[in-house]
């Protein structure tokens, strides 16, 4: 069952990798929406974990995810507001949202250690996918230097999230 949860997490997050498959690449407005959407989805996942988990380590991780992703999204909103850029919904952000809803429903059906293991595995896979999209597509495709700098700062933070999630996953199996 644990393998199927990891596979489900990877399949759920595969749409983010589709960013690199776009011929023309995403615009700054689309990049902003993708990044903001990914942050919002991780905040929502953290809230679910805080509602369901009683494991102190998982709860501390979820609190960190909620706090850090909300802070980065606040910075992103401030930036696009100042630059007068309207984030543009796109197929990637829509696919991320749809996949997150399915993951949320699957996790909602789990309890206790099964939930904790699935949540943390999903977080590791989510960060691995988002970090790959950031480094491989979103940052290189960003035209605006301030947007690029914010994405680079986010990538550094999210790489630490991935490492944290991977280490935590080893202890909550």
Q: How many domains does the chain have?
A: 1
* Residues across the chain: 173
pLDDT at 9 (0 to 100): 36
Question: What is the mean pLDDT of the segment spanning 108-136?
Answer: 97
- Rg of the chain on CA atoms, in Å: 16
Average pLDDT, the chain: 88
Residue 18 has pLDDT above 70, yes or no: no
pLDDT at 128 (0 to 100): 96
Written as one string, the DSSP assignment of 89-138 is --HHHHHHHHHHHHHHHHHHT--HHHHHHHHHHHHHHHHHHHHHHIIIII
CATH code: domain of residue 156: 1.20.1260.10
CA-CA distance, 131 to 102, in Å (whole number)? 21
Range of the domain at 76: 2-17+26-171
Residue 20 has pLDDT above 50, yes or no: no
**pTM for this structure?**
0.85
pLDDT at 23 (0 to 100): 57
């Amino acid at each position: 069952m644990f393998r199927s949860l990891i596979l489900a997490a990877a399949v759920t997050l595969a749409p983010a990798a589709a960013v690199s498959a776009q011929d023309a690449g995403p615009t700054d407005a689309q990049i902003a929406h993708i990044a903001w959407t990914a942050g919002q989805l991780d905040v929502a996942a953290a809230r679910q974990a805080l509602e369901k988990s009683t494991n102190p380590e998982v709860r501390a991780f979820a609190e960190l995810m909620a706090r850090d992703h909300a802070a980065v999204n606040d910075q992103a909103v401030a930036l696009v507001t100042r630059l007068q850029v309207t984030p543009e919904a796109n197929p990637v952000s829509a696919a991320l949202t749809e996949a997150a809803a399915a993951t949320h429903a699957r996790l909602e059906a789990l309890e206790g250690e099964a939930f904790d293991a699935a949540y943390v595995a999903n977080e590791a896979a989510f960060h691995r996918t988002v970090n790959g999209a950031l480094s491989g597509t979103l940052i290189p495709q960003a035209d605006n230097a301030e947007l690029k700098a914010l994405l680079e700062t986010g990538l550094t933070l999210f790489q630490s999230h991935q490492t944290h999630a991977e280490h935590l996953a080893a202890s909550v199996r």
